A and B are shown apart, each in its own frame.
Chain A
Amino acid sequence: MHTELELVTAPEVPIEAECLSPAKIKGLSQSGIEHLEMMHGNRKVRVGDFFRVTGNGQCSLRLEGDLSRVKYIGAGMTEGEVRVNGSAGMHLGAGMSGGMIRVSGDASDWVGPEMSGGRIEVMGNAGHMVGSAYRGQRVGIMGGEILIHGNVKNELGSAMRHGLIAVGGQAGDFVGVNMRAGTIIVMDEMGVRPGAGMVRGTIVSFQPVELLPTFSYSCWLRPTFLRFYLCHLGQSGFEVDDVYMGGRYRRYCGDSVEENRGEILVFDSR
């Protein structure tokens, strides 16, 4: 059983809908859900003003329609499931600590900021600052998984501390900037300056990358852990070629302006 919300009125300005999360709607009646408050620009509105609600509040939530102007879907969720059939707006899954969000279309900027657990899957593309720290914060996501099947823009996983971010397509500049720990895997090309200011952590690139001069070559290796990670991604619907599973990677360590304990693994050959 699930609760279904269909966006029937397109918002003129973005909606901030922190209430669209299983924890907030669980146990509510249909009209109870319709009366939940959201911000439409600077005005308070009700869920029923924009969404057609079907069913009572369940742990599983289906959202239909173009929700690219609906922010904070699944914010703070701790359990359950949110499926978006369409696109999602900014701050998807902000601060979530458990549960699962799956978006069939694209997601906007700030996917999963302050996340500490759970899983976000985006079948299309995502914007800037995926899995990143909010501005001014020293530490970004503390755990969980963010899987983007399409492309992402700049500052993927900035200051992340723990967890896994995987991108099936291309990534923009500054992948893993100021990263503290955790793993980022990018399957297609990435932009300039990956790992700038990284302290620890691992960035994996299947394509050749242009590295900063503060990264130095240390060795080549066939990392065992990567097989497990890539098998896991394969099971999650990513197309991972066998050559990457057991392939040889060049390891660069950096960033030497920080502690030089981070690594960037670049696929080399079979």
Chain B
Amino acid sequence: MAENSAELRIKGGKVYDPANGIDGEVRDILVRDGRVVDKVSEKARTINAHGMVVMPGGVDIHCHIAGPKVNLSRKLQPEDHRLDVHPGTDVTRSGVGGVTPSTFATGYRYATLGYTTAFDAAVPPLAARHVIEEFHDTPVIDKGFYVLLGNNMFLYDLLKQGRKQDFKEAIAWWVTAARAAGVKLVNAGSDEFWKGRRNENVTDVNEDIDPFDLSPLQATAAFIEAVDELNLPHPAHIHCNNLGHSGNVQTTLDTMKAAEGHRAHIAHVQFHSYAGELGKRVQTGSEAIIDYINTHENITTDVGMVMFGKATAMTADAPLTWMLRFKDTKWVNADTECESGCGVMPFTYQDTNYTHTMQWAIGLELFLLSKDPWRVMFSTDHPNGASFQTYPRLIRLLMDRGFRAEMMKHVNQKAISTCLLPQLDREYSLSEIAIITRAAPARALGLVNKGHLGVGADADITVYTDDENREHMFNAPRYVIKAGKPIIEDHEFVDDHIGRFLHTEPEHDPAIEDQIRPFFEDYYSIRFNNYRVDASYLHDHEVIPLRNSGGKRKKGSK
């Protein structure tokens, strides 16, 4: 190590920092004590980045990387792990890869793509402890999760009784108790159909959910409003109803309309942009969806792209995986008491298949038709659309129309001929890629110190060799610096890092606990006092400030 390991000067790289309006300018990035600063001493170690591309570390806004559902997927696919061993090095630990890598391999493999922050998108409160414990073993990256509240029976009861204020207090309590960074809704209302009526799903978002006298759309709207009014850093993160069904465009539009006047984040919108008739072939509905998003500033979205190859359907949308499962495929359903559902199923996207090709094309169309990269972000809903390990290839598809055309030759031609994709020749620039993979997710999550390289930002920095082949470039950053510490140098791991746990703490009236407790003691399998995640789980953590707090952050105590 150099003379002063806490200080770094990344010299002469082309810096892409869209949040601060820097687009490929050659400049030095200075780092001290884990932060970007404007001055370092003479003794600072210099990293020569001449001719290289410098970006903030990647931020994954929507993935599934920890918790019981990921563990189910790991257990379900031993063959996947056996063929993809992740050996340890002198500084890193070993693991196994595949579509759902083991905890250690997950952290390292994110790092080798230049990602330094990731958010798990679906955690039932009951599983929060498990998730935080797995996070502790997921190295390098900073991480947090959204808590699943969209099918919570207690909250539905409050809505039925019209107790809006208590509803809001209860959401705030749950977010705080689970130590979440946001609120996730998955196919709101579906669990009543699934568990209560045996294997059914929501078909009409305006149909009442028994026994709550409330439609899925009304419930979704109530959550959107409450989360916005609570000033949570990230708006309600919504997995709309009718995922994966032909003709779900209307449902998605209805959901976005229900959010009018409030912030909302529509997750993996690719899976919700299907035109056509229910039960018939999927057609592209990307234009209708992206037009709405382009003209409505209150909506942010991540695309949830599909890439051909192995994936795993892993969702709290239990009826969906029930519908998708085929003979001969493995499928597992898990119960999460009064809070949510869960289904996991290994899945392979094939380029010869009409529907899969359509899904692949719609993901690209949404990006190529998007007008505001700050609101249409990059994700594959790992591992649902594809593993996060396919990000470099998808980035190349966005940046290289020649590569796209070449790939279009080898997919299902019937599907591609009905798509808009062959007519779109837009190419993403490096700056736009930096927005959709870094700056925009950080902004949407309220992470004021991530996704940019201004003074005061966390020193999560990636340095790429500027390669014409963007897949090669994004597959192997030359340097990855996490919290001011070089983790990867010349493509090799040189250090390990634990990474911080990110969560938020909305204010709420403690009296709401007295309302939840009796319901809990009646219906849950564990005691109420064991439910809340206590402070002993928070080792290296940071509280994401609420929107009204002026961006001041509380530093977690060690």
Which A residues contact B (CB, under 8 angstroms)?
A: 134-138
Nearest first, the 6 closest Cβ-Cβ pairs linking A and B are A136-B78, A136-B79, A137-B79, A135-B78, A136-B77, A134-B79
- Which of A134, A136, A137, A138 has the most C-beta atoms of chain B within 10 angstroms of its own C-beta? A136
Instruction: Report the nearest A residue to B82, measured CB to CB.
Output: A134
Q: Are B328 and A138 in contact, CB atoms less than 8 angstroms apart?
A: yes
Report the bound CA distance from A137 to B78 in whole Å.
8
For residue B157, CB closer than 8 A to chain A, the reply is no
Q: Report 13 cross-chain contacts, Cβ distance below 8 Å, ordered by A residue.
A: A134-B78, A134-B79, A134-B82, A135-B78, A135-B79, A136-B76, A136-B77, A136-B78, A136-B79, A136-B80, A136-B82, A137-B79, A138-B328
Instruction: Report the nearest B residue to A138, measured CB to CB.
Output: B328
List of B residues within 8 angstroms of A138 by Cβ: 328
Majority secondary structure of chain B interface residues (helix, strand, loop or mixed): helix
Instruction: Report the nearest A residue to B327, measured CB to CB.
Output: A258
Chain B positions 69 through 112: 1 when the CB is less than 8 Å from some CB of chain A, otherwise 0: 00000001111101000000000000000000000000000000
Report the bound CA distance from A138 to B346 in whole Å.
12
Instruction: Report the nearest B residue to A258, measured CB to CB.
Output: B327
Which B residues contact A (CB, under 8 angstroms)?
A: 76-80, 82, 328
Closest Cβ–Cβ distance, residue A198 to chain B (whole Å): 13
List of B residues within 8 angstroms of A134 by Cβ: 78-79, 82
Closest Cβ–Cβ distance, residue A175 to chain B (whole Å): 21
List of B residues within 8 angstroms of A135 by Cβ: 78-79
Instruction: Report the nearest B residue to A133, measured CB to CB.
Output: B79
Closest Cβ–Cβ distance, residue B112 to chain A (whole Å): 24
List of B residues within 8 angstroms of A137 by Cβ: 79
Closest Cβ–Cβ distance, residue B328 to chain A (whole Å): 7
Report the bound CA distance from A256 to B79 in whole Å.
27
Closest Cβ–Cβ distance, residue A259 to chain B (whole Å): 10
Report the bound CA distance from A137 to B76 in whole Å.
10
List of A residues within 8 angstroms of B328 by Cβ: 138
Report the bound CA distance from A138 to B80 in whole Å.
12
Closest Cβ–Cβ distance, residue A144 to chain B (whole Å): 20
Report the bound CA distance from A135 to B82 in whole Å.
10
List of A residues within 8 angstroms of B78 by Cβ: 134-136
Closest Cβ–Cβ distance, residue A167 to chain B (whole Å): 26
Instruction: Report the nearest A residue to B76, measured CB to CB.
Output: A136
Report the bound CA distance from A136 to B78 in whole Å.
5
Instruction: Report the nearest A residue to B75, measured CB to CB.
Output: A136
Report the bound CA distance from A3 to B78 in whole Å.
37
Instruction: Report the nearest B residue to A199, measured CB to CB.
Output: B328
Report the bound CA distance from A135 to B75 in whole Å.
11
List of B residues within 8 angstroms of A136 by Cβ: 76-80, 82
Closest Cβ–Cβ distance, residue A155 to chain B (whole Å): 15
Report the bound CA distance from A180 to B368 in whole Å.
45
Closest Cβ–Cβ distance, residue A160 to chain B (whole Å): 16
Given A134-B78, A136-B80, A137-B79; 4 other pairs, CB 8 A cutoff: A134-B79, A136-B76, A136-B77, A136-B82
Report the bound CA distance from A85 to B76 in whole Å.
39
Closest Cβ–Cβ distance, residue A114 to chain B (whole Å): 10
Report the bound CA distance from A43 to B123 in whole Å.
40
List of A residues within 8 angstroms of B82 by Cβ: 134, 136
List of A residues within 8 angstroms of B80 by Cβ: 136
Report the bound CA distance from A136 to B76 in whole Å.
7
List of A residues within 8 angstroms of B79 by Cβ: 134-137
Closest Cβ–Cβ distance, residue A47 to chain B (whole Å): 22
Closest Cβ–Cβ distance, residue A206 to chain B (whole Å): 32
Closest Cβ–Cβ distance, residue A39 to chain B (whole Å): 12
Report the bound CA distance from A135 to B78 in whole Å.
7
Instruction: Report the nearest A residue to B79, measured CB to CB.
Output: A136
Instruction: Report the nearest B residue to A259, measured CB to CB.
Output: B327
Closest Cβ–Cβ distance, residue B75 to chain A (whole Å): 9
Report the bound CA distance from A135 to B328 in whole Å.
15
Closest Cβ–Cβ distance, residue B81 to chain A (whole Å): 8
Instruction: Report the nearest B residue to A137, measured CB to CB.
Output: B79
- Which of B76, B77, B79 has the most C-beta atoms of chain A within 10 angstroms of its own C-beta? B79
Report the bound CA distance from A134 to B78 in whole Å.
9
Report the bound CA distance from A136 to B328 in whole Å.
12
Instruction: Report the nearest A residue to B329, measured CB to CB.
Output: A138
Closest Cβ–Cβ distance, residue B102 to chain A (whole Å): 15
Report the bound CA distance from A136 to B98 in whole Å.
13
Report the bound CA distance from A137 to B77 in whole Å.
8
List of A residues within 8 angstroms of B77 by Cβ: 136
Closest Cβ–Cβ distance, residue B9 to chain A (whole Å): 40
Report the bound CA distance from A137 to B328 in whole Å.
11
Closest Cβ–Cβ distance, residue A31 to chain B (whole Å): 28
Closest Cβ–Cβ distance, residue B303 to chain A (whole Å): 31
Report the bound CA distance from A138 to B330 in whole Å.
10
Report the bound CA distance from A134 to B79 in whole Å.
7
Report the bound CA distance from A135 to B79 in whole Å.
7
Closest Cβ–Cβ distance, residue A173 to chain B (whole Å): 22
Closest Cβ–Cβ distance, residue A37 to chain B (whole Å): 14
Report the bound CA distance from A181 to B270 in whole Å.
40
Instruction: Report the nearest B residue to A135, measured CB to CB.
Output: B78
Report the bound CA distance from A138 to B76 in whole Å.
12
Closest Cβ–Cβ distance, residue B130 to chain A (whole Å): 23
Closest Cβ–Cβ distance, residue B394 to chain A (whole Å): 27
Report the bound CA distance from A134 to B77 in whole Å.
11
Report the bound CA distance from A192 to B63 in whole Å.
45
Report the bound CA distance from A136 to B332 in whole Å.
14
Closest Cβ–Cβ distance, residue A224 to chain B (whole Å): 32
Report the bound CA distance from A138 to B77 in whole Å.
11
Report the bound CA distance from A137 to B82 in whole Å.
10
Closest Cβ–Cβ distance, residue A256 to chain B (whole Å): 14
